[in-house]
Chain A
Amino acid sequence: MRSDTPGGGRRLDEVLERTIRDIDIPPRPAIIDRICHEMRQDQPNFKYIGEQISADVSLAAALIKTVNSPYFGFRRRCRSVHEALLMLGLDATSRAIAAISLREAFPGSAHYERFWQASAQIAALSGWLAQLVRKSGLRADDAYTYGLFRDCGIVILLRRFPDYMATLDRANHEAERAFTDIEVEVLPTNHSVVGSLLAQNWWLPEEICLAIRYHHDRDAIEQFESGLPAASRYLVAASQTAEHILQQVTGGSHTEEWHKLGSSSQRLLGLDDSALGDLYDRGAALIASNS
């Protein structure tokens, strides 16, 4: 897909633009902008935001369902959008809505059904793990949101570059080098950079954006000098462990990521081999109930 001659590159871009016009990142849901607008006020109007959310019946239902789900980590059950808002606060509500809207925001989402299913399972397992390991700064709702957003760059790149599937396959089976190193051999960018730009555009918190950016970078996760916040490291570790459990339990497609990042993830979360072993059965039950 890449053309290194300036003239040729430009022509190719023009062709691309004519043929696949609607291929760009999904716009941020308008309700997130309204919430942000309210957050900038001295006295945010919760009632107004509640009405805005409730005006979209399916969004309201999804919000209540998500907040009450076991992987979101809230003990108290909420029955209305208003209760959800009070429990979560505006910023966490905005994140929950981002998580709910992400998949719908991609046109032609059905093409990537298996991808989104796997993301949803990883997100649910991540939220559950976050509650089990109890690390300071690691929130279950963030782990859930992060699990959904972590790989959304893949969908964007798949829609733009038809050959990307083959690259993904090679990256998934690369045992030594970083996943993203394989991507940049054939693409001008990689899915973690693309995903972090989208997350930032949707006003997700810094810890989540950085965790998306560095989720294949072992040095960034392991070394303090990378400056990566601990919460981001925990998010990466929780989702890697969640993905590993999913692959163990379902026997589905295996990747090499656990080989590369597993020991760091276990160390960060404080899970030794036997503790991890115990999680397989419990995770299987959760996956079954979530399917």
Chain B
Amino acid sequence: MHDTGSDLDPITGFLNRIAGLSAASRAVARAESTGDGLAVLWLDIDRFRQINQSFGHVGGDRVIAEVAKRLRQTLSADCLLLRMGSDEFVALMPSLQRQTATEVCQRLLAAIESPLAIDDLLMHPSVSMGIAVHAAGEDPLSLLERADRAMIEAKRRGGKRLIVSGDEPVAGRLGVQLARDELAIEADLHKALESGCLALEYQPLVALDGRIEAVEALMRCDLPGRRLMPGKFIPVAEKTGLIVRLGEWSLLQGAQFAARLRDEGVATRVAINVSRAQLNSRSFTPALQAALICANVAPALIELEFTESLFLDLSEIVQGNLRSARLAGVGMAIDDFGYGYSCLANLKDLPANKLKLDRSFIKVLPADRRAYAVVKAMAMLGRELGMTVVAEGVETAEQQAAVEGAAVDAVQGYFHARPMPEEAMLAWLKEKSTHAL
């Protein structure tokens, strides 16, 4: 039979997926019979969605063609190359053991990154790669799947890297599914930002004397027919950098709510969550100031909440941003304290004026006396540092009594109020203020 070329992908000249799978079976059979070894490389272009978005499909095809060319030039002639999907390639590398295969792939990573011009824009393509080395008796599908899984792990760690199968945590099919879910969530978030699917809900922080210490803004994302939970979308937003846009959106939205509360006669501080990625960007201070200006609200009515994870890497940019926010008169709270990376040295140096104790300590109260001791000690520590101490996640009267005993300053949780939409929060605050009169 003659090769009619129909097995070949027209853009790369590689075997297409169907032809590729049978080629992989033959390669495995040969490796089994000769005992020469076989490594499979699975390669996926990073940010391909963005490339397509930026340059259209014609531009995307040019990147595909160029990456294919670089693969061909770097790998030896006996490697068989397959195009598995839009931006996915597989190289079957015969006679290669793990060490040599890894070296070849590292060379490949470097070769692929040299600049490429599309539409007069210079880009540096990068790829995520996974390799699996054939184990005696392993069937071709399992071999390919291991390489794919290693590639997905490389992608999960930010791309532009090589993972050898066996080195990645055992994620199995579940891990692969998770990676695909994340891509879908990313697309949802892009859509939400331009179709009004985002909203803030607010939950009050109530001082022991009944005064309202602040209201915390919590982000909600309601897509057609379903609600995306923050626990799902915030980590994805953090990974993809979208958190910066979401965060700026909340800054303005929260500042506008603070202005509204002031205008309605129930002036209350609004606490807005900011992520490490936001604080680690030079554009944070201008964006915070722009939000204050746009909402025409006094900085003292805004509070930034950040978690201890900030302590991990207090870069100069982060410190500068915190300093200038403090200087402007914006309040600062350390969220979820005591759970993650608490470091007392940093606590001493951070310009925060509020300490929010993590809910994990509160939920075991009042039964757990050791937890109680920790809460009490942290409350004292916070107070000595001149901070307002807040217990998070108070859900029952018993927990409320316990944190009062531990002498915290304020409480947040279902016991007082669930998070509620803007209008409901406003009504709640108004009702509280009439009762207080």
Contact = CB atoms under 8 A, between A and B. Distances in A.
Sorting the interface of chain B by its residue count into under 10, 10 to 19, 20 to 34 or 35 or more gives 35 or more
Nearest to B197: A40
A88 interface: no
Interface stretch (B149-157, B209-217, B295-303, B370-378): B295-303
A197 B291 contact: yes
A4 B328 CA distance: 8
A10 interface: yes
B396 interface: no
Interface in A139-196: 153, 156-157, 160, 184, 187-190, 193-194
A270 B295 CA distance: 40
Nearest to B296: A24
Given A42-B225, A200-B245, A188 B193 contact: no
A290 B222 CA distance: 41
A114 interface: no
A42 B224 CA distance: 6
A268 B55 CA distance: 12
A6 B287 contact: no
B56 interface: yes
Contact of A40 (B120, B223, B296, B327): B223
Given A9-B327, A39-B195, A203-B195, A229 B294 contact: no
A37 B327 contact: no
A78 interface: no
Contacts of A188: 285-286, 289, 293, 328
Interface in A177-225: 184, 187-190, 193-194, 197-198, 200-201, 203-206, 209, 222-225
Contacts of B253: 201
B299 A13 contact: yes
A160 B251 CA distance: 19
Contact of B194 (A24, A205, A229): A205
A158 to B, nearest CB: 12
B135 interface: no
Given A13-B298, A17-B298, A157-B293, A200 B285 contact: no
A230 B54 contact: yes
B174 interface: no
A91 B241 CA distance: 24
Interface string B219-231: 0001111000000
Given A189-B290, A197-B252, A197-B291, A39 B196 contact: yes
Given A14-B298, A225-B123, A200 B252 contact: yes
A201 B123 CA distance: 31
Interface string A220-245: 00111101011101000000000000
A206 B54 CA distance: 12
Interface string B281-320: 0010111011101111111100000000000000000000
A36 interface: yes
Contacts of A91: 194-195
A136 interface: yes
A285 interface: no
A17 B299 CA distance: 11
B56 A137 contact: yes
Contacts of A193: 283, 286-287, 290
A25 interface: yes
B194 A40 contact: no
B58 interface: yes
B50 interface: yes
Given A188-B328, A230-B54, A160 B293 contact: yes
Nearest to A222: B121
B158 interface: no
Interface string B37-58: 0000000000000100111101
Given A10-B300, A40-B197, A225-B124, A4 B327 contact: yes
A282 interface: no
A33 interface: yes
B329 interface: yes
A10 B297 CA distance: 11
Contacts of A39: 195-196, 224
B252 A229 contact: no
Interface residues of A, number: 54
A201 B251 CA distance: 11
B194 A13 contact: no
A198 B285 contact: no
B190 interface: yes
A105 interface: no
Contacts of A231: 53-54
Contacts of B225: 42
B296 A36 contact: no
Contacts of A17: 296, 298
Nearest to B116: A224
Contacts of B122: 223-224
A29 B429 CA distance: 26
B64 interface: no
A227 B290 contact: no
Contact of B248 (A33, A41, A197): A197
Contacts of B251: 197
Interface in B6-59: 50, 53-56, 58-59
Contact of A136 (B55, B283, B289, B300): B55
Contacts of A24: 256, 259, 294-297
A155 B327 CA distance: 26
A77 interface: no
B3 interface: no
B384 interface: no
Given A190-B286, A200-B248, A201-B253, A10 B329 contact: yes
A212 B284 CA distance: 16
B119 interface: yes
A189 B289 CA distance: 6
B343 to A, nearest CB: 26
A204 B321 CA distance: 27
A110 interface: no
Contacts of A187: 289
Contacts of B286: 184, 188-190, 193
Interface string B312-344: 000000000000001111000000000000000
The 3 closest A-B pairs by CB, nearest first: A36-B196, A224-B123, A24-B296
11 contacts: A9-B299, A9-B328, A13-B300, A17-B296, A24-B294, A156-B294, A197-B294, A204-B194, A209-B245, A223-B121, A224-B54
